[in-house]
A and B are shown apart, each in its own frame.
Chain A
C-alpha cells in the first residue's frame, strides 16, 4: 500500500494535541512517549544520526553480536594463552592505577601477589604494587573478562570460549564460590588455599574433562537456562546445573581421584557458570567490534572506581564516569555504608542482552528490581528502547518467547535518557571483606555521552549545504 491509498496509521512524536486531533478523526495512532535527550547531546546526536555509515554499520555489528556461537573449548592456564609481559596482572574494568584502585581491587591484587609468590606478606605485596613492579592491564585488552575485581595472574586457569561463527576466542577465570573470595578483594589464608586447590586440582580436572567431552555449545546452554529462570548474571543456578550435567561423567572419567571434590565444589556454587557465561558474552560482543560508524556498545565494565564503555566504531577507547554504589539487598548486618562502588566485568552479560536486560526471565530474583514480577518485566521491556535487536536464540518465555533486548546503541541511550539496567554483586568497601550484597546499579550517563561526543567528533559535518 502506498501513502495515498487510504486513511493512514500515524506515529506521532511531540505535541499530544496533534495526536488527539488524529484520534478525533478515528485515525489509528501510535503515540511516542517522547522526552528531550540527555542535556547537551542534541548537536552530537544530530551529527552521529546523520552519519551515512551508521545504519548499515549497526546492522552489521548487531548481526555479528547475535549470531555469535560461543562454545566452551577448554580450560587453560593464563600464562599459556595470554600474551602479556612478565609480571602482568589483568583486572576488571577500564585501566586503573594502584593509587586510584578501590579496596576490593587492592585486596585482590594483593591476593594475586601472594598466590604467585611475588611477595611474602600483605605489606610487601602492597609496597611492590605501589612501586609499580607489576603491570596492570584491563582484562578487556586481552580478550578476557573477570567478575568483580577480575584479577587474573599468570598461573590461574581460564575458561576458553570460541565463537565458531566468527572465529574469536575469549577467556574468563574460574569461579571461586561465594563468601571470602579473591574477586571480592579477600586474600586471607582460606582464599589462597582455595586458589591453590583450583590451581592443582580443579583446573586440571576441568581441562581433562573438556578434552573428553569436546567443545560444549554455550549458546544453546544459555538459551535453555533463560527458559529455566536464570538471567545469567545474578542467577546462574539453572546454567550451573546444566553445565554440571554435561561435565560430570567426563570429570569422573578424567580425574577419578578428585571427581567427588570437584563435583561437590561446582555443585556448591550457584554462580559457577557465571564465568563461562561471561566469556561467552565477551566473545559475542567482540565479534561486533571495530565496525566503522557503528554506535553499538561492545563493552561495559567497572574497576571499582570508574565505569567504562567501549563502542564498536571507536576501537579500544574507553569512555568513563564514576562508578556508582549499587542499590540492593545486603547480607547479614552489612548495609550501604559497607558497599564499594560498582566493580567487575560481569556487565558484559548486559552488554550481550543478558543479566538485567533479561530480568523478565528470572522471576525468582525480582527482589533485586523492586520486588514484583511486573518490575522485572518492566525492566526488560524498557531495554528494548535502547537496543538494536532481539536475540534470536536467547528468549524469554514470559514475554511470549520474545528475544532478549540485545545491542545497546549509544544514540538511543542519549535520546531516551534510559540507562542500561545492570544487575550486580556488591563488594565490601574494605579490602578483604568479600561480598556484602547484590542488587542493581545505574551506570553514569557521562560514559555514554562522552562516547557519543567522540562518535560525533569522528564524522565530518554532514549538514554543510
Chain B
C-alpha cells in the first residue's frame, strides 16, 4: 500500500461534486482509499484518522489523499474529473460566468436566489440577493444568528422573504428547491421552521391525496427571540395573499413566548385558516398532517408501512434489551423520534458539526454507514431515509446491504412520495427485504422502535 497526498492551493469545488470524485476514484482497481475534499478541519481530521500524513493546508485548498497498491490511475483520473468540473460552466465560452450573486442578479430576470455556499460565506451572497430586491433561500448551515437577524431585517426593509439559513427545503410555484419531494399541486401552504418537518408533513399529505401550493422554509431559528419570527410573519402573509392556498400549516419547534404572541396575532388577522404544529408541545408531525386533513374535511388514511422483521434472524433480547440507537439525517425527524422514544442515543448527522466541508448525509451516506457499522448486537436501530430532489438517487443501494448485515433490529422512517425520483415503493421494498420495518410516518416508526425494546 502506498499513500499519495498532495494539496492544491486555492482550488475550490463544492463538497457534493468532490464526494462524487472521491467515490469514482475509490472504485478504481489499485485504489483502496480516495479522499478528494476541501481541507476543512473536519476533512483533515478524517484523513488523519485514516493514518494519512498531511501537509499544512487550509479550508481554501483542495486536499487529495490516495491509498492503494497502485494509485497512478487514480491520480490521472483525478485531473480528468477536476477538469470536467471546471469546464461545467455556461454553454457560451465567451461569456464571463457571474462570480457573485450580485453579478448574476444584475443580468435581470431572476425571481429568487438559492445560496448553498459554505456557511461562513453565505451572508455575502444572501445580502447580494436582498440588495437586488430578490427573495433568497439560504440552504447553507453554520450561519451565525447575528447574521441571520441582520439579513432578515434588511429583507424586511426591502419587502423580500429570507428562507433559512439552514433551510433544507422549499417548494415555490411547483419547483422544488434544495431537498424537495415531488408533491402534487394542491390547497395546502406550508410555513416551516424545519426542513425535514415540512417534508414529513407534505409527504403524508401527498400520500393522503392532498397536494401543496407552496412550501416556504424560514429556518430553524426564525421563531427564536433573537430573530423574532420575521420570516414566519412574511411567509404567512404571502400565503394568505396567494389564491392557490386554502389552508396554511405552520410547522415549528415551540417558539419563544414573545415571538409566539406576535405570530399568533398575525395568524388571527389572516383570512386563510392556519393549522399550527408546534413540535414538542404534545403534538407530532404526523398528527399535524392529520389535523390538516381534518381541517380540509378529508379522511385520514392508514399510513403505509412494510414489515420485513420476519426476514431476519435477529430477535431483540426480551430480558436485557440492547440500546435504541437513532441514526438520523433530518434534525426535526431526529428530535421528534427522540421525544417519542423517551430514551436512546440519537444522533443527527445533518447537524452543522458533521457537514462542514462535507456533503449532507441525505446525499453522502458515509458517516451513517460508519455509525451502522458500530451498532452493538441485540439493540434497535431507528433511522430516517429522506427521498426527493437532490437527495441520494438510490439510498437503499448502500444502506440496505448495511442494514441486512446488522446484528440488530432496524426501523426505517421513509420520507417521500410515490412521484419522487427514487421511487418510494421500490425503496420501501428494498429496506423491507433487508429486514427492516419501514414506516412512512416517523412518529409511528419511533413508537414501534420504542415498543420493540
Contacts and interface: CB of A to CB of B under 8 A. Distances in A.
A381 B139 CA distance: 30
A411 B125 CA distance: 12
B281 interface: no
A83 B85 CA distance: 58
B55 interface: no
Contact of A31 (B97, B105, B118): B97
Interface stretch (B172-180, B250-258, B395-403): B172-180
B135 interface: yes
A1 to B, nearest CB: 7
B116 A14 contact: yes
B167 to A, nearest CB: 12
Interface string B109-137: 11111111110110111010101001100
A461 to B, nearest CB: 8
A16 B120 contact: no
A14 B147 CA distance: 18
A381 B106 CA distance: 14
B17 A16 contact: yes
Contacts of A418: 99
B131 A55 contact: yes
Given A22-B175, A42-B120, A49-B127, A12 B114 contact: yes
Nearest to B180: A21
Nearest to A34: B117
A45 interface: yes
Q: How large is the interface on A (under 10, 10 to 19, 20 to 34, 35 or more residues)?
A: 35 or more
Given A11-B110, A465-B149, A32 B103 contact: yes
Given A4-B238, A18-B178, A13 B96 contact: no
A8 B139 contact: no
B312 interface: no
Contact of A8 (B111, B213, B239): B111
Interface stretch (B70-78, B86-94, B346-354): B86-94
B114 A10 contact: yes
B115 A8 contact: no
Interface string B330-362: 000000000000000000000000000001000
A8 B100 CA distance: 19
A215 interface: no
Given A1-B111, A9-B111, A385-B100, A16 B175 contact: no
Interface residues of B, number: 76
Contacts of A42: 120-121
B31 interface: no
Given A16-B14, A30-B107, A45-B124, A10 B117 contact: no
A37 B117 CA distance: 11
Nearest to A17: B16
A8 B149 contact: no
A18 B111 contact: no
A117 interface: no
B177 A10 contact: yes
A28 B96 CA distance: 18
Nearest to B178: A18
B145 A465 contact: yes
A411 B101 CA distance: 13
B114 to A, nearest CB: 5
B117 A377 contact: no
Contact of A36 (B59, B89, B95): B59
A6 interface: yes
Contact of A14 (B102, B110, B117, B144): B117
A50 interface: yes
B376 interface: no
A11 B59 contact: no
Interface in A106-139: none
Contacts of A60: none
Interface in A32-48: 32-37, 39, 42, 45-46
Interface string A430-465: 000000000000000000000000000000001111
A32 B161 contact: no
Q: Among A11, A19, A55, find the residue whose CB has the most chain B CB atoms closer than 10 A.
A: A11
A427 to B, nearest CB: 31
B237 to A, nearest CB: 11
A86 interface: no
Given A14-B14, A30-B107, A39-B58, A50 B150 contact: yes
A374 B94 contact: yes
Nearest to A387: B103
Nearest to A33: B97
A415 B14 contact: no
A21 B168 CA distance: 13
Interface string B1-35: 00000000010101111000000000000000000
Contacts of A9: 109-112
Given A8-B175, A465-B226, A50 B100 contact: no
Nearest to A28: B109
Contacts of A39: 58, 60
A46 B147 contact: yes
B69 interface: no
A457 to B, nearest CB: 18
A4 B172 contact: yes
Contacts of A99: none
A357 B346 CA distance: 56
A15 interface: yes
A10 B116 contact: no
Nearest to B134: A11
Q: Among A5, A21, A32, find the residue whose CB has the most chain B CB atoms closer than 10 A.
A: A32
Nearest to B15: A15
A378 interface: yes
Contact of B172 (A3, A46, A50): A3
A13 B111 contact: no
A36 B14 contact: no
B195 to A, nearest CB: 13
Contacts of B184: none
A382 interface: yes
A55 B14 CA distance: 29
Interface in A376-390: 377-378, 381-382, 384-385
List of 3 A-B pairs having minimum Cβ-Cβ separation, nearest first: A14-B116, A463-B146, A381-B96
Interface of B: 10, 12, 14-17, 58-60, 85, 88-90, 94-105, 107, 109-118, 120-121, 123-125, 127, 129, 131, 134-135, 139-140, 144-147, 149-150, 161, 172-178, 180, 213-214, 226, 238-239, 241-242, 244, 359, 363, 389-390, 421
20 contacts: A4-B214, A8-B112, A10-B112, A10-B177, A13-B100, A14-B117, A16-B16, A24-B421, A30-B110, A32-B100, A33-B89, A34-B125, A39-B60, A50-B127, A381-B96, A385-B100, A415-B124, A417-B10, A462-B150, A463-B144
Given A25-B389, A385-B96, A417-B10, 10 more contacts: A3-B135, A4-B172, A13-B101, A14-B140, A15-B139, A32-B100, A49-B123, A416-B100, A418-B99, A463-B149
